Amino acid sequence: MLMEQPVGGHILVIDSGIGGLGVLSQLQKRLPKTRFSYVADEAFFPYGKLDDETLCMRCADIARKFDDVGCVVIACNTASTVVLPHMRDEFDFPIVGIVPAIKVAARNTKTKAFGILATEATAKGKYLSSMIDEFAGDCIVKLHGSKNLARLAEQKLNGSRVLIADVEKEIRPLFTSMRFKETKRIDHVVLGCTHYPFLLAELKQAAPYEVVWIDPAEAVAKRVLNVFKPAADADSKGRSRYYTTAENSHYKVRNIEFEQLKF
Ligand code: DGL
C-alpha cells in the first residue's frame, strides 16, 4: 500500500523483547517529529515458543491497547512470518513487518553461498523456505535456527557479559558443513531476528572467517516511510514511550524507562 496523503496518529512498534529497539532507532532517525510507542512483550518472550494462534491474538491484543495509531511495525521476524495477514484483516492502519533480507544476500553474494541466522521458529517456517526458493534459487543457502542467541542479546542489552564461546556455539552450524569447499564459503549472513544486530561485535569475533552481516532494520524503516506520512502539523517533538508487559521487569537498557503495559 502506498500512501500519498499524510496520516495522523503515532507509530506502535512491537517485539517480544528489546530486539526491535534497533528498528525503532532507524525510524526515529527518519521521523524525528513522530511519536512512537515501543512494546517489549517481555511476559511472552520468546515469541518462537508460542503457537501461531496465540501469537496472532497476542499482537492484536497489544495493538488494541493503544489509541491514535497511524501504523504498527511488527519489529520481530518470528511474529512477522505469522501475524501479518491476521493483523491486516483486523486493523485499518498499515501493518509493516520485517522479513530476513534474503533478496539482498542473493544479489550481493560473490560465492553464491550465504547463511541465514534466525530463531528456531522462523527457520522452521514455510514462509522462509518459500522466500529462499523464490529469491535464492541459484545460491547455496545455509539456514540455521539458533536456540539461545535472542536470549543472549537480551542479556547483553541488560548489561550482562556475553561469552564469545556461547555465541560461537550458536552459529557454528552455519560455518561447518562438509558440503562446503573453500570456494563455496558463505560470504554473507542474513540476520533473521531483530535481536541479533545487538550482538554484531560478538558475532564477528565468533565467526571463523569474515562475512558481511546483513541487518534489515534500515529497509524496514524505509518501508514505513512508504506507508506512513506524518501529518504536517505533527508536533509531538518525537516523544517516545516504552512499555514492557512483564510485571517485574529487570530491563536496564540505556537510560530507557519502561512502563508496565497492563492487560
Ligand atoms: N526479535 C524476535 C525476532 O526477530 C525475537 C525472537 C523471539 O521472540 O522468539 O525473531
Parent domain of 198: 102-215
175: enclosing H helix or E strand? helix 164-175
CA–centroid distance, residue 151 to ligand 1 (Å): 9
CATH number, residue 65: 3.40.50.1860
The model's pTM: 0.91
- My answer on whether 114 and 199 are in the same domain is yes
214 CA from centroid of ligand 1 (Å): 16
Indicate if 12 and 74 belong to the same structural domain. Answer: yes
**Does 89 share its domain with 36?**
yes
Residue 108 pLDDT greater than 70, yes or no:
yes
Q: Is 245 in the pocket of ligand 1 (CB under 6 A)?
A: no
Domain count, the chain: 2
Strand, coil or helix: 192: strand
**Residue 8 has which C-alpha cell?**
495522523
Same-domain status, 223 and 182: no
38-80 pLDDT, tens digit each: 999 999 999 999 999 999 999 999 999 999 999 999 999 999 9
Looking at the DSSP assignment, which residues form a beta bridge with residue 12?
37, 72
Write out pLDDT tens, residues 195-226: 999 999 999 999 999 999 999 898 899 899 98
Distance CA 52, CA 41 (A): 16
Peptide bond into 46 cis (omega under 30): yes
Q: Which atom of ligand 1 is nearest to the CA of 76?
A: 4
Q: Does ligand 1 lie within 6 Å of residue 16's CB atom?
A: yes
254 plus 198 within the same structural domain: no
The mean pLDDT of the chain is 90
119, 122, 143: residue to mutate for ligand 1 pocket, most atoms within 8 A of CB: 119
pLDDT above 90 as % of the chain: 77
Residue 29 CB coordination number (10 Å): 10
Binding residue per annotation — 125? no
Ligand 1 within 6 A of CB of 80: no
For residues 211 and 131, state if they share a domain. Answer: yes
Q: Is the separation of the CB atoms in 157 and 198 below 8 Å?
A: yes
